[in-house]
């Protein structure tokens, strides 16, 4: 039989320790393995919401359905939404905007292992996200295959 004991080291202390060790300035920088959500998809500058939903669907194909948040709060400025995504510490932020749509790319901001910003062609997005996810210190699901655009 297994017995559970309480020695003062609960979930709340573990989360506090993670935040203390992995914060960056005044925002959280969640490790990918313990992040509440892996990615946020933001539609900025009056970008096509349908395009953002497509990007979110492909990100869900890589990260899993419960791991992606679509920020469609169009009544809030893009700067506030970007700041919210940074404060919440999403390991990946995918940005859809009219300018990027014209170029056929999605802006991907990563926080692990280092903060970087990349423009990834939409056709290469699933495989690029899987590669970035693996580089960030986690491995995709067994036998994970990127979805086709």
Are 39 and 63 within 8 A, CB to CB? yes
> Does residue 135 have a pLDDT over 70?
yes
Please tell me the predicted confidence (pLDDT) of residue 105.
93
The pTM is what? Answer: 0.79
The pair of three-digit structure tokens given for residue 142, joined into one six-digit string: 């067994």
Average confidence (pLDDT) over 24-30:
82
- By the 10 Å C-beta count (0-12 exposed, 13-18 middle, 19+ buried), 138 is classed as middle
């Amino acid at each position: 039989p297994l017995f559970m004991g309480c020695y003062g080291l609960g979930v709340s202390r573990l989360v506090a320790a993670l935040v203390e060790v992995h914060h960056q300035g005044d925002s959280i920088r969640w490790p990918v393995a313990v992040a509440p959500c892996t990615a946020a998809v933001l539609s900025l500058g009056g970008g096509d919401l349908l395009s953002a939903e497509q990007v979110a669907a492909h990100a869900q194909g890589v990260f899993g359905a419960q791991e992606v948040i679509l920020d469609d709060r169009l009544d809030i400025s893009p700067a506030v939404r970007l700041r919210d995504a940074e404060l919440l510490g999403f390991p990946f932020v995918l940005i859809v905007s009219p300018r990027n749509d014209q170029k056929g790319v999605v802006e991907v901001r990563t926080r692990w292992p280092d903060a970087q910003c990349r423009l990834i062609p939409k056709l290469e997005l699933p495989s690029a996200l899987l590669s970035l996810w693996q580089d960030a210190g986690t491995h995709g699901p067994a036998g994970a295959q990127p979805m086709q655009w």
